[in-house]
A and B are shown apart, each in its own frame.
Chain A
Amino acid sequence: MTIKQVLVVDDAPVERENITSILLQAGYKVETATSGEEGLNKLKTSTPDLIFMDIVMPGMDGFHACREITNNEQTKDIPVVFVSSKGEEVDKVWGQLQGAKGHIAKPYSQEEILGIVKEIGNQMITMN
């Protein structure tokens, strides 16, 4: 199984568009959501292969949304990668405890985004 479709959850339009643009140019299908709640709602109707999740968002934050995703039988296998300005070690450890598969600190590069998509895709192939 390879990664084809990605869900980007971020309340900041610029960040959403930036990650979306990087992924579209690389040939991935992209869906977006502006909050944790909207992200979870999207998962009721579609099953992305990967989720890029901001942490600090109004309403349900990224940690909470990730907990919901990894605690749900239907969505627990979808890898979540945090993309956040919260990039300290403590954030990465706490993110891992929420079940996240990766953490990219803002500002990020195109290589970092595509690199982690490839890395997680490779992990999924190995697991299958």
Chain B
Amino acid sequence: MDLMKQINLLDTESVSPSSTNGSPLAHRYGFKCKHLGLVLEESCGQEVFKDIQICPIPLTNNWFEGVFNLRGSLIPVFDLKLLLFDEKTLGKLFIVIDSGKDTIALRLDYYPELLTEIFPSDCEIGKLENIAVPHSIENYILQIFQHQSDYWLEFDKHSFFTSHSKNINRAS
């Protein structure tokens, strides 16, 4: 099945660069995926929906929930918690991130958080205390941020989901 080509996730030309200028940022938005805090890129489009109608795609892995119609564009919907932690996200909120052909939606348990005064951290991914980062996302971490006493990770969504799209077929 060439599904991911249809939803334009396989194009790898537009990998987003990390914002690693080292200066404190006024604020960013992030969401929790189980214990993992994931921060959103400053410039990417972000919109939140509740109870969207998802069209499931047969014979795909359960972490790929299907597609939904966002103002005429078909957007792939993923359950990131299921993909990373094998645990279903029970919330009914969805965040739509990025724009154009890179747009994806992620199911969330809670609203994204406003992270004021977030700072880039020098901490290395393997040395994060009390945070077990799943191997499947480890190589896609662009930057680690610190907000109060918590660490938040910015990951390369495009490369991550492009890579996982190769296993989207349930048989693979």
Q: Which residues of A approach B to under 8 Å, CB–CB?
A: 56, 61, 63-64, 67, 70-71, 73, 88-91, 93-94, 97
Q: Once the chains are docked, how many angstroms separate the CA of A67 from the CA of B41?
A: 12
Instruction: Judge whether A97 and B29 touch: CB under 8 Å.
Output: yes
Whether B71 sits at the interface, judged by CB under 8 Å, is: yes
**A90 touches which of B29, B42, B46, B93 (Cβ 8 Å):** B93
- B47 at the A/B interface (Cβ < 8 Å)? yes
Query: Could you tell me the distance between the alpha carbons of A97 and B31 in the complex, rounded to whole angstroms?
Result: 13
Asked if A97 and B45 make an inter-chain contact with CB atoms under 8 angstroms apart, the answer reads no
| Main secondary structure on A side of the interface with B | helix
Which secondary structure characterizes the binding site on chain B?
strand
Query: Do A63 and B46 contact each other (CB < 8 Å), given the known contacts A71-B26, A71-B27?
Result: yes
Pairs across A and B, CB under 8 Å, 16 listed: A56-B71, A63-B45, A64-B43, A64-B45, A64-B46, A67-B46, A70-B27, A89-B50, A93-B48, A93-B111, A94-B47, A94-B48, A94-B111, A97-B29, A97-B111, A97-B114
* Cα–Cα, bound, A71→B40 (Å): 15
**Residues on B facing A (Cβ under 8 Å):** 26-27, 29, 42-43, 45-50, 71, 93, 111-112, 114
Measured CA separation A84–B11 after assembly (Å): 33
Given contacts A71-B26, A90-B50, 9 further A-B contacts (CB under 8 A): A61-B45, A61-B47, A63-B45, A63-B46, A63-B47, A67-B42, A88-B50, A90-B48, A90-B49
**A-chain residues with CB within 8 Å of residue B29 when the two chains form the complex:** 97
Q: Which residues of A contact B26 (CB under 8 A)?
A: 71, 73
Closest B residue, CB atoms, query A61: B45
Report the minimal beta-carbon distance from B163 to chain A, rounded to whole angstroms: 27
**Whole-angstrom CA separation of A2 from B47 in the bound complex:** 32
Chain A residues whose CB sits within 8 angstroms of the CB of B93 once the complex forms: 90
Which residue of chain A has its CB nearest to the CB of B47?
A63
Chain A: CB-nearest residue to B114:
A97
